[in-house]
Amino acid sequence: MSTKAQRTYKTFRLDRTLTAILARRKVPDAQVIELSSGLFEDEYWISLANYKALQRVLRESHEGPVSAPDGQAPTPLRHAIARITSSPYEVYLRGLEARRAVRRLPIPWMVNHIPRTTSNKRRPGERMTPEYLTIHSTGNPTSKALGERSWLTNAQNDRTASFHIVVDETMAVECIPFNEVAWHAGDGNGDGNKKSISIEICESGNRGKVLRNAILLAARILREADMTADNLRRHHDWATKMCPRILIVDANRAHPSQTWDWFKSEVEALL
């Protein structure tokens, strides 16, 4: 089982335990102990409302002092309950909830995959396991995400080039599944095309908002694919094209601070 699958299964198991406790069903002590540990891991998160309910149920069902009599060490169960119901955990949870809010993509993510029958083999249907996330900019100062998606299936488009997802200041549009190859990197059958998810960043609109959306989108894709900022690549890293030009060409930046190193560090801060 992959690391991601193990985390998903653990979260599912802990969530079942939490649901059972809140429904006041009998839960084995070992599961309460596991829950107390799992709550402090970033991959498992509950709402403040459920946390408050969990506190109340555990306090009502396990009355009495947490510490054992005569100075003896508390049992593992009472230690777990003390950990869950302690004030420091609420502080931790509030901080975690705030970080999740910062990470949240503030725009809709539309899934509108181009057909496999799209001309020029823009969606070849070849399976891939992504190892990189490649950043592009569209090179078009007026186009929006929906327009870029429409161009992929436009009868006048005679190019093979394609991409996985495009983002502007109001939305993101997924055009090819992330576990399929797209022709975006300009390196033929190299790792750019065959092992990389691609994001196209629109150059229109409020550049600050567009780049913020792109940063949040990149961080989310990296997290979900078990990758880090070290897996980020520019189109320019695979081919000679100066892309994404809005991050690597001085004349195309909206602000001198919007460099590739800045973009990468902003993504890394969200992981």
Is the model more confident about 241 or about 10? 241
Burial class (CB in 10 A: 0-12, 13-18, 19+), 64: exposed
Is the model more confident about 100 or about 103? 103
20-29 contact pairs (CB < 8 A, 24+): 21/54, 21/57, 21/58, 22/50, 22/53, 22/54, 22/57, 24/57, 24/61, 29/76, 29/77
- 70-79 pLDDT per residue, tens: 555 567 887 7
Looking at residue 78, what is its pLDDT?
A: 79
Beta pairing class for 109-111 and 196-201: unpaired
- Mean pLDDT throughout 44-66? 70
Looking at residue 73, what is its pLDDT?
A: 58
- Mean pLDDT throughout 141-152? 97
246 in Cβ contact with 258 (< 8 Å) = yes
Q: How far apart are CA 226 and CA 130, in angstroms?
A: 10
Q: What is the pTM of this model?
A: 0.72
